[in-house]
A and B are shown apart, each in its own frame.
Chain A
């Protein structure tokens, strides 16, 4: 039992980590980023390249890739998405526009990765040894990823609730028009939040690459998973993201261990559906309109 729960927590932590950036980008900046998974894979490739080519540990890689992703995403928001934000008459229109724009971006990023790395599978071994944790044997790389996820989650939660900038970001998430009235620079806050989301997905990419096999075309899997977690937890809600991610991971591990591994996907979607039926806005979402 301990083992199944531990496995589930590690998997759920990974899901939450993957989804954290998307919940910021979608919930606050109102950009439905369909190229989200591609950014994750790009970070995974960067980490792979640093590790195999330059022997840079993925932990050090985090310190290089994450700031770079922040800058890159900031630039993408400023150059590519700001025109959409300006033009959109309301939030719904922006959502549709951003879906189309980032869908296009998917092909640009995927194409570049295919040109650079080819279509083959990539995988490397980092911290791939067993460790004893709570009396169970688990993989060190997954445990490390869980640890970093928790740290990132706590830091983000503190930043959002304890700092002035974080409060501004939350205000924008709740009501961008009212936020403007209290002198919050909404475009700036949106750009920074989008970039922060991009930095988080890069962190997820680096961590995931230490234990999952990936290829240039596997981004869509992560976009889908992140979307489910974000919608299930309530758009823009960090705590919801964490709870939904853990719930999915735990249910998957428990079903795989005690019922049948073949049913994990079915249970995932049943859980998703059940949440949407009972709480259409997600576990921690507020009903709008």
Chain B
């Protein structure tokens, strides 16, 4: 009796183990495991919550509603494994290693922000995962794309951002719409330093007069002294390479102090839904980094789907959000074309293929898109791309900026 029971038990255990093993194998074929570590806490949370997380969630929801990603002749659903990187580079790398070694995910989606994308680059490269950096702006993008052929830098370089802005200003000056005094402020952090040090020589070469050029530390709680001093200089152009909280504060303070130059340009956050919500009619004519083809049906459709999916019907950021979503569409199309979980082949397809996305047809050259929106402007409640002017859907800039109105 005892013997039998033990034998039965052993048998049962063996069967269980075998079944478990079988299901594990079967599962690997019936789903695609996609992992990501994203800033749910810490200083990056604000950016990740607006630009990245809603798009990851929207994409997974839509793909799974459609039956999943097509592998060969069948569709397999996406299974998500996610962690909080706490806005911390070491934590992001640790989470990624866990995703790769322990969770054995098939693909990895990138974190939010330039710093974290640079931090996880080496790991993703070493392990051979495609790295679709959709929220990183760095001058080293072309160099990094060479060093890490699996990495794709979809937002471009800060030098291009500054160059395009200065080109637009030069054109406006040629059209006699603006004079040549410029006041520039920047945040003393990666983004602000990169963009202002690219803009400085570009402005000087284009013979603009840089009447004010200063930086302020991250976390500055009162920007009134800066705005007041610039107002006294009465420049034609105001440029701020700022982060979201400062973008809002600078705009607010400018409206209060009555600083209303012909061109008013602010940095990250200008394209955020919060900006439109806070300033309403006063957004008219404000320029900022980024932009999108607001009239394209694909973008309008994306905007509607995003609003329907996100918590509280939140709208996307009108710059990197659409690029983030497009990067997910690219990943999906590359996987489907390869037809199996073959990361090297997927990377190859991303390098060479053409992709149909919400931001139009994308074909990468040297792991970077050939077309970026660098300057956008709020026109009638939509943040349209205005430069480079050769981009499809580019609008003409409204210059001079209309006067601020009482809210």
A interface residues (Cβ-Cβ under 8 A, vs B): 3-4, 7, 10-11, 14, 110-111, 114, 118-125, 128-130, 137-139, 211-218, 221, 249, 252-253, 256-257, 260-262, 264-265
B185 contacts which of A217, A221, A257, A261 (Cβ < 8 Å)?
Answer: A261
**Are A257's CB and B225's CB within 8 A?**
yes
A4 to B214, CA, bound (A): 17
A192 to B91, CA, bound (A): 40
B92 in contact (CB, < 8 A): no
Residues of A contacting B229 in the complex (Cβ-Cβ under 8 angstroms): 257
Residues of B contacting A118 in the complex (Cβ-Cβ under 8 angstroms): 49, 311
**A10 → B minimal CB distance (Å):** 7
Binary contact track B353-380/A, C-beta < 8 Å → 1, others 0:
0000000000000000000000000000
Q: Which of B207-239 contact A (CB under 8 A)?
A: 214-217, 219-222, 224-226, 228-229
Residues of A contacting B406 in the complex (Cβ-Cβ under 8 angstroms): 129
**Are A216's CB and B45's CB within 8 A?**
yes
A260 to B229, CA, bound (A): 11
- Which of B42, B245, B272 has the most chain A CB atoms closer than 10 A to its own CB? B245
Binary contact track B381-407/A, C-beta < 8 Å → 1, others 0:
000000000000000000000000011
B257 in contact (CB, < 8 A): yes
Which 8 residue pairs across A and B have the least CB separation, nearest first? A119-B45, A119-B49, A256-B225, A213-B245, A261-B216, A120-B49, A257-B225, A265-B217
Q: Which of B37-57 contact A (CB under 8 A)?
A: 39-43, 45-46, 48-50, 53
A260 to B185, CA, bound (A): 11
Knowing A114-B40, A129-B407, A213-B249 touch, does A11 contact B226 (C-beta < 8 A)? no
Residues of B contacting A221 in the complex (Cβ-Cβ under 8 angstroms): 219
**Are A121's CB and B50's CB within 8 A?**
yes
**A16 → B minimal CB distance (Å):** 13
Residues of A contacting B256 in the complex (Cβ-Cβ under 8 angstroms): 128-130, 137-139
B244 in contact (CB, < 8 A): yes
A157 to B193, CA, bound (A): 45
**Are A262's CB and B407's CB within 8 A?**
no
**Are B220's CB and A264's CB within 8 A?**
yes
**Are B214's CB and A212's CB within 8 A?**
no
**A108 → B minimal CB distance (Å):** 13
Q: Which of B256-307 contact A (CB under 8 A)?
A: 256-258, 269, 272, 274, 278-279
B278 contacts which of A4, A14, A124, A137 (Cβ < 8 Å)?
Answer: A124
B248 in contact (CB, < 8 A): yes
**Are B45's CB and A215's CB within 8 A?**
yes
**A173 → B minimal CB distance (Å):** 29
- The secondary-structure label for the interface of chain A is mixed
Residues of A contacting B249 in the complex (Cβ-Cβ under 8 angstroms): 212-213
Knowing A119-B49, A123-B248, A217-B43 touch, does A261 contact B226 (C-beta < 8 A)? yes
- Which of B214, B219, B224, B248 has the most chain A CB atoms closer than 10 A to its own CB? B224
A121 to B78, CA, bound (A): 30
Told that A213-B245, A217-B42, A262-B188 touch, could you supply 14 new A-B pairs with CB distance under 8 A?
A: A114-B40, A120-B274, A124-B278, A125-B407, A137-B257, A213-B248, A214-B245, A216-B45, A217-B46, A257-B225, A261-B185, A261-B215, A262-B217, A264-B220
**Are B40's CB and A256's CB within 8 A?**
no
A121 to B249, CA, bound (A): 12
B125 in contact (CB, < 8 A): no
Knowing A118-B49, A216-B45, A217-B46 touch, does A264 contact B217 (C-beta < 8 A)? yes
B216 contacts which of A121, A218, A253, A256 (Cβ < 8 Å)?
Answer: A256
Residues of A contacting B329 in the complex (Cβ-Cβ under 8 angstroms): none
Residues of B contacting A121 in the complex (Cβ-Cβ under 8 angstroms): 46, 50, 244-245, 248, 269, 272, 274
**Are B245's CB and A212's CB within 8 A?**
yes
**Are B226's CB and A256's CB within 8 A?**
yes
Residues of A contacting B39 in the complex (Cβ-Cβ under 8 angstroms): 119
Query: 26 pairs across A/B with beta carbons < 8 Å?
Result: A4-B225, A11-B222, A119-B40, A119-B41, A119-B46, A120-B314, A121-B269, A121-B272, A121-B274, A123-B274, A125-B407, A139-B252, A139-B256, A211-B252, A213-B245, A213-B249, A215-B45, A215-B46, A217-B45, A218-B43, A249-B222, A253-B225, A256-B222, A261-B185, A261-B215, A264-B220
- Which of A4, A10, A139, A249 has the most chain B CB atoms closer than 10 A to its own CB? A139
Residue ID in chain B nearest A11 by CB atoms? B222
Residues of B contacting A218 in the complex (Cβ-Cβ under 8 angstroms): 43
- Which of B220, B225, B252, B258 has the most chain A CB atoms closer than 10 A to its own CB? B225
B253 in contact (CB, < 8 A): yes
**A117 → B minimal CB distance (Å):** 9
